[in-house]
Amino acid sequence: MKKELIIIAGPNGSGKSTLAEMLLAEKHFLPFVNADTIAKGISGSSERTDISAGRMMITRINSALTDNESIAFETTLSGRTWVKLIGQAVDKGYQVTLGFIAVSSVEEAMSRVERRVLEGGHSIPKEFILRRYSRSLSMFFNVYTASTREFPKMLIAQEAVYPSDAELGQNKKYTPSKKYG
Q: In what order do the strands lie in the sheet with 153-157?
A: 32-33, 71-75, 4-9, 95-102, 153-157
Q: How far apart are CA 120 and CA 19, in angstroms?
A: 18
- 63-85 burial, b at 16+ Cβ within 10 Å, e below that, comes to ebbeeebbbbbbbbbbeeebeeb
| 3 state SS of 144 | helix
Residue 138 confidence (pLDDT) above 60: yes
β-partners of residue 26 are: none
**End-to-end alpha carbon distance in the chain:** 44
Report which of residues 135 and 174 the model is more confident about: 135
Q: Percent of the chain at pLDDT above 70?
A: 75
Length of the chain: 181
The pLDDT-based confidence of 68 (bands split at 50, 70, 90) is: very high
